[in-house]
Amino acid sequence: MTDHPIFGAHPGTIDTPAWVRDAVFYQIFPDRFARSPRLPKPSGVEPWDTEPTTYGYKGGDLLGVVERLDYLQDLGVTALYFNPIFQSAANHRYHTHDYFKVDPLLGGDPAFAELMAACQERGLRVVLDGVFNHASRGFFQFNDVLENGAASPWLDWFTFNQVPANAYDHSRPPDYTAWIGLHALPKLNTDNPAVREYVMNVAEHWLRQGIDGWRLDVPFEITTPGFWQEFRQRVRGVNPDGYIVGEVWQDSRHWLQGDQFDAVMNYLFASAALAFCGRDRVVKELQEDRSYDPWPGIDGNEYAARIEHLLGLYDWNVQLAQMNLLGSHDTARILTLLGGDRCSVELAYLLLFTFPGAPIIYYGDEIGLTGGLPDRWARKSFPWDGESSWDHELRDLVKRLIALRRAEPALRTGTYQTAASSPSSYAFQREQGDDRLLVALNTNEREDTLTLPGVAVTCRPLLIVGERPDLTQSEDGATIQLPARSGVILRGTAPSPSPSPDAGRGEQDAPHGQ
């Protein structure tokens, strides 16, 4: 075929949960996804359909999620990742007050129990957000220090410069170590064995309640020797299939050697896919203070180079467990980042659902929600009562891609090899046994032709984004003519010694997304 490396040709050696490679995740920001009428709300909750504010609550809850599981399963989702659900005084709940209690606005522990029962009945996996680097001013042990100063028995759970400590005057730095210097987020002293054991107990407790794993917030900030190694051992001790995925935005080899995390949120993939699909449409200002780089745009040859570098970083079992994303609560909405251009989003989804690892959808991206930065604008309420505002064509494409991924083993666990690239286009093959698929896309404004040595494919596409390509087959391989800004998935076949007279001409044009 080509001289490009075949990734996955040799089995991986690192133990990662097998269920993840078949999963399709959906990320839920609890305050903004769905609100159940079964849970009464305080009077100060904002109207659901108004623009979000920095500190305001919309009142989304876990029973609202239970009531929308039919929607998620219709989409094809098999696993849920929740932003923090524990008691907190922030709408995003990264300011944890009590790691052993579900926030009352979310319905508390009873709502969580109902959610878990419903998910387990449906075969849906659940991953929770673990914020273990820092707590909050309302965290009991920290609050005790604020009340009692040097007399507090919890003083060494944190690192204080002096007590009484400045926790609220933002004109002066806090008198303790805090995450990125924020007064509201005192950093836990994980060098303290008691703190370390507390975190381990939290992890074990929720695994025993039935969750399937942890997404770890800023885990690179915890540098206590052996901390994450012990965390993995404790997680696996409760659930041998427990998934551990870290929020690390760059090269993550340090954490992915088999002794700490199973995977990371794959922002390296997101950067490359968004840059290639969006090109000059990527809005520079929306990613400047983030830790990834989807701007400036890149061409097909650069995309090929980046993807081959990325796939060469980690063990194949780690690649199959990666949490592959395009956007999250920490980025601008992908539609907004890509200049409002839906075609760019469609092509990026084509790459997402055909790449090794577990794809994840940030809630609402599948219906074209918009929002930039600051972060609150990327955290709008899901418009359940405004279905007329949904981009139904985009959702339909996502649904078809998920269904195709779930139907085709090669798209989940097959080998990966670049077939061809050009300044405009990129093509690759996924192969597992006799199951072969070719994915090709052209993100440029003009038509492009790719020559694919040693590749043989059927004429009728499995799925098309944009206009239908032309295909010519010969004994040496295939030539595919890709219309501007289009993509296609084709089934591979055994190479034929001679081309069919009508090669490249299907019986009829497949409709968009078929």
Q: Provide the annotated active-site residues.
A: 217, 247
CA dist., res. 362 & res. 123, Å (int): 20
Q: Tell me which DSSP letter residue 184 carries.
A: T
Q: Which of 390, 291, 298 has its CA nearest to residue 335? A: 390
CA distances from 360 to 22, 352, 401 (A): 12, 9, 12
CA dist., res. 161 & res. 184, Å (int): 16
Cβ atoms of 440 and 480 within 8 Å: the answer is: yes
Strand order from edge to edge, sheet including 477-482 = 448-453, 477-482, 470-474
- Alpha helix locations (H) across 258-341? 267-278, 300-311, 316-321, 334-337
CA dist., res. 227 & res. 234, Å (int): 11
Cβ atoms of 159 and 176 within 8 Å: the answer is: yes
Peptide bond preceding 374: is omega within 30 degrees of 0, i.e. cis? yes
Cβ atoms of 431 and 455 within 8 Å: the answer is: no
Q: Is 357 helix (H, G, I), strand (E, B) or coil?
A: coil
Cβ atoms of 30 and 382 within 8 Å: the answer is: no
- Which residues is 477 bridged to in the sheet? 453, 474
CA dist., res. 166 & res. 185, Å (int): 13
CA distances from 2 to 6, 286, 428, 476 (A): 10, 37, 10, 12
Q: Which of 289, 255, 248, 285 has its CA nearest to residue 270? A: 248
Q: What is the dihedral of CA 482, 484, 486, 487, to 10 degrees?
A: 30
Token pair, residue 219, equals 């885990």
